Amino acid sequence: MAILATPFWINFLYKYKFWKQAKEETIYGTKATVFQQLHAEKHKRNIPTMAGVLFWVIVLALSLKFNLTRSQTYLPLFALVSVGIIGAVDDWFNIRGIGRIKGIRARQKMAWLLVMAGLGAWWFYEKLGQHSIHLPGIGDFLVGWWYIPIFIIIILATANAFNITDGLDGLSGGLFVIAYGAYGILALANNQVSLAIFCATVVGVLLAYLWFNIYPARFFGGDTYSLAFGATLGVVAMLINRGTGVAVLPLIAFVPLLETLSVIIQLTYRKLYKKKLFLVAPIHHHFEAIGWPETKVTMRFWVIGAVFATMGLVIGLVGAG
């Protein structure tokens, strides 16, 4: 369905000029000269953004029709749609060049994400009765009301980590496929069939996305794609076997974790020593800056992601308990 619908969606995006505005500021507010040098040709080609809307809409439609269960798919779908809408607004502001940074400010975006994550945390805690997290090889760890802030942190972390990672053609798409695939297997092993089907649906839809997004990309997914599928991955992790998915999340989402840490380290290092540790952050752009072709960075990060996701999958399966 997604592979058939995408060409029509691409034509629509090009026809109405949903062009992505080039990044003009670095993570610490100065002019993004290195980034512009690396990606000037992309923005000259006028590649549309906001393409991710189609893909979460297809996941929503298929799930509503064939796979809607209160305990396993309500929350992932809520995260997908609500965060997808927030991202779509941000993408629209970027397309139209609204605001100084051509998009929603980080604080405003974070505030909306916090509200959505808070609602999800309340549902898990009150409606689903989730008060503990299962640690592989150890057992259930009772956290009580601390479950709510833990849930919020996980959702904010996964949403922003994949948003940071979504900087090269096909990079985040491949990592999403790996992560959702791993969680789908874990869900099936724990007899969470509806959740496994949901993960399989996402994998199928994102393979269609990846077909058109690998280098040279025909479109960019935008925040409506990376934030939505990132936040939803966090929800899926919290759902699997009483939170087992959270315990292995640093492995299954290792590359986005690495990307996020590179940004934090860059900011901290610059503040302390008044100079940069990496040529540019996040780290995938650093490797580009030292001469690696974009495709080489992407595929090597896929390999790293697959290796660590496999480790997380094995730990999750062996320590399910």
Q: What is the pLDDT along the chain (321 residues), one digit of tens a residue?
A: 789 999 999 999 999 889 887 655 554 455 555 555 565 555 546 899 999 999 999 999 999 999 999 889 999 999 999 999 999 999 999 898 887 777 788 888 999 999 999 999 999 999 888 888 888 888 888 889 999 999 999 999 999 999 999 999 999 999 999 999 999 999 999 999 999 999 999 999 999 999 999 999 999 999 999 999 999 999 999 999 878 899 999 999 999 999 999 999 999 999 999 999 999 999 999 999 999 999 999 999 999 999 999 999 999 998 766
Q: Report whether the peptide linkage leading into residue 216 is cis, meaning its omega lies within 30 degrees of zero.
A: yes
Question: Within a domain: residue 248?
Answer: yes
Domain count, the chain: 1
Residue 1, classified by CB atoms within 10 Å of its CB into exposed (0-12), middle (13-18) or buried (19+), is: exposed
| Predicted local distance difference test score (pLDDT) of residue 222 | 95
Host domain of residue 45: 2-13+27-318
* pLDDT score, position 140: 86
Domain-located, residue 19: no
136 HSE (CA, 13 A, CB side): 19
Q: Please say whether the beta carbons of 201 and 168 come within 8 A.
A: no
Which pLDDT score is estimated for 310? 98
Nearest to 65 by CA among 222, 247, 229, 197: 197
Within a domain: residue 22? no
What pLDDT does residue 45 have?
64
* CB-based contact 169:216 (threshold 8 Å): yes
| Rounded distance between C-alpha atoms, residue 202 and residue 48, angstroms | 22
CA distance 188 to 169: 31
- Please enumerate in sequence order all residues whose Cβ is within 8 A of that of 222, keeping only pairs 6 or more positions apart, or say none: 20, 49, 50, 51, 52, 53, 87, 88, 90, 91, 94
With respect to residue 20, please indicate whether it lies within any of the assigned structural domains.
no
Indicate the pTM of the whole model: 0.93
The whole-angstrom separation of Cα 94 and Cα 103 is: 5
